[in-house]
Amino acid sequence: MKLESMEHEIRIIVAAKAARDPAEIGSCEDFEEDLGLDSLDRLDLLAEVEDELGIQISEDQVSEVRNLGDLLKAVGARARERAA
Protein backbone atom coordinates (compact mmCIF):
# COMPACT_ATOMS: atom_id res chain seq x y z
CA MET A 1 0.00 0.00 0.00
CA LYS A 2 1.31 3.45 -0.89
CA LEU A 3 1.97 6.01 1.82
CA GLU A 4 -0.77 8.29 0.45
CA SER A 5 -3.30 5.48 0.70
CA MET A 6 -2.13 4.64 4.21
CA GLU A 7 -2.46 8.27 5.27
CA HIS A 8 -6.03 8.35 3.97
CA GLU A 9 -6.93 5.13 5.82
CA ILE A 10 -5.29 6.34 9.04
CA ARG A 11 -7.05 9.71 8.84
CA ILE A 12 -10.41 7.92 8.49
CA ILE A 13 -9.67 5.70 11.51
CA VAL A 14 -8.60 8.66 13.66
CA ALA A 15 -11.64 10.67 12.60
CA ALA A 16 -13.98 7.80 13.47
CA LYS A 17 -12.42 7.44 16.94
CA ALA A 18 -12.65 11.20 17.52
CA ALA A 19 -16.17 11.44 16.02
CA ARG A 20 -15.03 14.06 13.51
CA ASP A 21 -14.85 14.55 9.78
CA PRO A 22 -11.51 13.29 8.39
CA ALA A 23 -10.86 16.70 6.82
CA GLU A 24 -10.98 18.26 10.30
CA ILE A 25 -8.10 16.18 11.66
CA GLY A 26 -4.85 18.14 11.57
CA SER A 27 -1.47 16.46 11.79
CA CYS A 28 -0.52 18.32 14.99
CA GLU A 29 -3.75 17.94 16.98
CA ASP A 30 -2.97 16.02 20.16
CA PHE A 31 -5.07 12.85 20.37
CA GLU A 32 -5.84 13.34 24.05
CA GLU A 33 -5.93 17.11 24.53
CA ASP A 34 -7.42 18.21 21.19
CA LEU A 35 -9.41 15.19 20.05
CA GLY A 36 -10.57 13.94 23.45
CA LEU A 37 -9.16 10.42 23.14
CA ASP A 38 -8.12 8.88 26.44
CA SER A 39 -5.22 6.46 26.80
CA LEU A 40 -7.42 3.42 26.08
CA ASP A 41 -8.84 5.12 22.98
CA ARG A 42 -5.26 5.77 21.80
CA LEU A 43 -4.29 2.13 22.26
CA ASP A 44 -7.44 0.99 20.48
CA LEU A 45 -6.70 3.44 17.67
CA LEU A 46 -3.16 2.15 17.26
CA ALA A 47 -4.34 -1.46 17.31
CA GLU A 48 -6.93 -0.71 14.64
CA VAL A 49 -4.32 1.00 12.45
CA GLU A 50 -2.00 -1.99 12.87
CA ASP A 51 -4.79 -4.42 11.94
CA GLU A 52 -6.00 -2.35 8.99
CA LEU A 53 -2.54 -1.88 7.50
CA GLY A 54 -1.06 -5.23 8.52
CA ILE A 55 1.86 -3.67 10.39
CA GLN A 56 3.24 -3.73 13.93
CA ILE A 57 4.22 -0.45 15.58
CA SER A 58 7.01 -0.94 18.13
CA GLU A 59 6.37 -0.20 21.79
CA ASP A 60 8.96 2.58 21.64
CA GLN A 61 7.07 4.24 18.80
CA VAL A 62 3.69 3.73 20.48
CA SER A 63 4.75 5.82 23.45
CA GLU A 64 5.82 8.63 21.10
CA VAL A 65 2.60 8.76 19.06
CA ARG A 66 0.64 11.78 20.27
CA ASN A 67 -0.96 13.04 17.04
CA LEU A 68 -1.67 12.15 13.42
CA GLY A 69 1.75 13.37 12.30
CA ASP A 70 3.51 11.11 14.82
CA LEU A 71 1.35 8.18 13.77
CA LEU A 72 2.10 8.74 10.09
CA LYS A 73 5.84 8.84 10.85
CA ALA A 74 5.64 5.57 12.79
CA VAL A 75 3.62 3.86 10.06
CA GLY A 76 5.90 5.22 7.34
CA ALA A 77 8.97 3.90 9.16
CA ARG A 78 7.42 0.44 9.45
CA ALA A 79 6.35 0.49 5.79
CA ARG A 80 9.88 1.41 4.70
CA GLU A 81 11.33 -1.38 6.87
CA ARG A 82 8.98 -3.92 5.31
CA ALA A 83 9.81 -2.74 1.79
CA ALA A 84 13.57 -3.10 2.35
Assign residue 51 the CATH number of its domain.
1.10.1200.10
Which structural domain, as residue segments, surrounds residue 12? 3-83
Residue 49 contacts by C-beta under 8 Å, 6 or more apart in sequence? 9, 10, 13, 55, 57, 71, 75
Number of domains in the chain: 1
Is the full-model pTM beyond 0.95? no
User: Could you read off the pLDDT of 43-81 as tens digits, one per residue?
Assistant: 999 999 999 998 898 888 888 999 999 999 999 888 777
User: Could you read off the pLDDT of 8-48 as tens digits, one per residue?
Assistant: 999 999 999 999 999 999 999 999 999 999 999 999 999 99
58: left (phi over 0), alpha (psi -120 to 50) or beta: beta
Mean pLDDT over all residues of the chain?
90
